[in-house]
Structure 1
């Protein structure tokens, strides 16, 4: 019986050594953790408790839809492209010593693009501010978690110090009233040791997360500083462009007499172009009506011949049997093929490629105040697209060349029919198509004319029958 008790005693003793070994190992880990925690980034190295940063307050955001970061990046690239393109065109117009409207148009385009770039940077900064707030919130939460973990760990250390010697642990085990209670107490000691290990590991992970968040925060602050610097420079560039615009306007105001003469010449050229287009459309409507009438008569004759051959009575033609196409119609009478072309043209609204590969809209559709002359209003029946010298002009859609004409002030003109739609390309230096020629989309029809001031500009119009349309809504947005 004494031998059995002695055996049980040694069994408990060895188990106790195993538990004690784990605890002592954990105490060494505790020492290492304390050393590590001292290296945690903080502003003060004193023994005082590190201040806990509160999470950043969430800012209220506007309900208006905002552009995504990908959209902002695309806009940024497009703005840079437009600025480079405008500079290239400006170099051409700036070769002339005297200021010109073409030069003024390019500067206005640059100002418009510059404003877009500044708005783009502001949006980037707004996104970055949100990212900064989110990162600061993460830093605050992580610091709070780290402080809580350290406090809990300190409590574990304090509790362990009370029973740190082997005698107390041995007494704790042998004070058990039964074998089962002793086993439970041994399990408790092991769990206690594991809890301290997990707590130390959690502290280490949290410190690593905090370090990463602080690094991200530093990077974001540096990026914001850089963006603010770029924004400041772009605002300076905008002021410089506005000064340049004012100088050109001032120089042009000294040329008031010549500008008035130029406006008169332009208005006369526009009137001649309008008359030409209206006459061509009217002639095409009449021609299509005659063709429709002829087709209707031919069809009636075929039907009558077929009826006579079959021995059926041939109906006597009456006034009601006349072809449906009226002679006074203001619309083009379309064949089935023409209807398909018109339908396809209308279906591509807003998707057409520009008639020139590079350039910008120097004057939009409709009535506009003259940029220099006070009280003078200019009416534009299409779009003026300013571009570089010798820029190739392309048709926006497949169709038939209806006319190739020349008008003073508009130079060479090409008019192309697309069913009941017509596109007009004016101010061409050269033309390489002929009347009646069938074209495909993006076929080159000529090159842009450059005037004496060095301005290369295309006049582009779209008509539906006899109605003038705004071309800007039909072209792809740049």
Structure 2
């Protein structure tokens, strides 16, 4: 009797384990896996975008910083992909261990159930005919004992029936868990194959990165000239933008000296709305990545050289459409001091200004009102096949980090 009770407790524990796989904790693990899968899908899209951008710059035999930026982006995305795969594998391995433990417990329980059932069948066979059962009942020495024997026979018959049902239930549960395990193991094999391929691609990209850095180091003199020209262009553009914004501040203050735009009720509402859109602004291009961040950045090749940036450089695809990031008014369209017939568009959003620079085509006019995502122009592609937009955000005369305002991508 003690062994039977202990086995019953074991069986209940096994069934409890099965039930646990349907609990919120298990569901939370599945939700986490779906989140990782979503992140992996987004990372694969980034890899695809970077690959397209890299293919456009790779049509030139000569190595360029644009190519290096695209390769760096590919490496960053591949490393993110590998981390997502590793996280998925970790969760999946945990689920496989849990399911395996349940299967082992159920298999043990099934053996015990069958053994008990076999014993019950054997015991019943000893009193299988009606004569033996009647002899067992009527050989009781008292009426109370006879009643207890009848009740025992009924309970024993019911126990056999329950035992059969329990065996069937455990078999069905075991079959379901084995099927679930096979599915998880298949997912595991797929992820392991993805992991191997991602690591292989990453090693190839890093080898290409090292080769390109060597090529660019051999072009140091040319890179220094390009850097000096860029710094000169940045300073001139900075002065031009600052001058235009200062004039707008003076105009709004009726030519009085001030350090901010004088807002009326309409402009103030736009300004507040822009402020509330921090971290949620649309990107000015549909695809691409930030190749150079706001502020002072180390040069990607030359050591101990810092490159200033008043905004962010967004490397994108050829002929990419540039769009307004927020509702506003076009305040200026101006040529920029770079080779080629390039332009910059400045839009005002209350006391905020956005700058879209390095455009080869402009689709708007000064004074025109635009809604968010409406076209401003088309990005310029240089002789190295690099299509790059320079994007800035100002609050009055203060330069802001655009990356803190754009939505995560």
What is the TM-score of this pair, normalised by structure 1? 0.76
Q: What is the match of residue 150 of structure 1?
A: 114
Q: Determine the structure 2 residue equivalent to 1:175.
A: 139
Aligned CA RMSD, in angstroms, stands at 2.2
Q: Secondary structure at the match of 2:284?
A: coil
For 1:439 and 1:476, how far apart are their aligned partners in 2? 20
User: CA 1:373–1:209 in 2, change beyond 3 Å: closer, same or farther?
Assistant: same
Q: Does residue 450 in structure 1 map to residue 381 in structure 2?
A: yes
Structure 1 pair 219/443, CA: closer, same or farther in 2 (3 Å)? closer
The residue number in structure 1 matching 2:330 is 401
- Which structure 2 residues correspond to residues 285-434 of structure 1 after superposition, within 5 A? 285-290=249-254, 327-409=256-338, 411-434=342-365
Equivalent residue for 1:203? 167
State the distance in 2 between where 1:227 and 1:254 align: 41
Matches within 5 A, 1:225-240: 225-240=189-204
Q: Which region of structure 1 is more displaced relative to structure 2, 213-222 or 390-399?
A: 213-222
Shift of 1:281: 1.4
Following superposition, the deviation at residue 285 of structure 1 comes to: 1.2
Residue matched to 2:101: 137
Q: Aligned match of 1:76 in 21, 26, 40? A: 40
Distance 2:185 2:328 in 1: 57
Aligned-residue offset at 1:383? 0.7
Alpha-carbon deviation of 1:91?
1.5
**What SS does the aligned partner of 2:71 have?**
helix
Counterpart CA distance in 1 for 2:365 and 2:165 is 83
Q: Which runs of 5+ in 2 are unaligned?
A: 1-13, 18-28
Superposed displacement of residue 144, structure 1: 3.1
User: 2:390 aligned to 449, 459, 465, which one?
Assistant: 459
- 1:251 matched to 2:215? The reply is yes
The alpha-carbon deviation at position 179 of structure 1 amounts to 6.5
Matched, 1:106 2:91: no
Distance change >3 Å, CA 269–CA 67, structure 1 → 2: farther
In 2: Cα distance, 1:444 partner to 1:383 partner? 19
2:57/2:66 contact within 8 Å kept: yes
Q: Number of paired residues?
A: 381
In the alignment, the residues of structure 2 paired with residue 259 and residue 154 of structure 1 have an alpha-carbon distance, to the nearest angstrom, of 86
Q: State the distance in 1 between where 2:372 and 2:184 align.
A: 48
Q: Which residue number corresponds to residue 22 of structure 2?
A: none
Q: Indicate conservation of the 8 Å contact 2:237/2:337, yes or no.
A: no
Contact conserved, 2:285 with 2:321, CA < 8 A, in 1? Answer: yes
Deviations 1:106-129 (A, max 9, x none): 111111111111011111101111
- Using the TM superposition, give the Cα deviation of residue 237 of structure 1 relative to its aligned residue in structure 2, in angstroms: 0.7
Q: Please, which moves more after superposition, 72-81 or 152-161?
A: 152-161
Instruction: Say yes or no: does 1:267 pair with 2:231.
Output: yes
CA drift of 1:242 comes to 0.4
Other-structure match for 1:435: 366
Give 1:334 deviation, angstroms.
1.0
Instruction: Give how far 1:226 is off.
Output: 2.6
> Deviations for 1:257-304, whole angstroms, at most 9, x for unmatched residues?
11111001100010001101111111111111117xxxxxxxxxxxxx
Distance 2:253 2:183 in 1: 72
Cα 1:67–1:139 change in 2 (3 A) is closer
| SS of equivalent residue, structure 2 residue 335 | strand
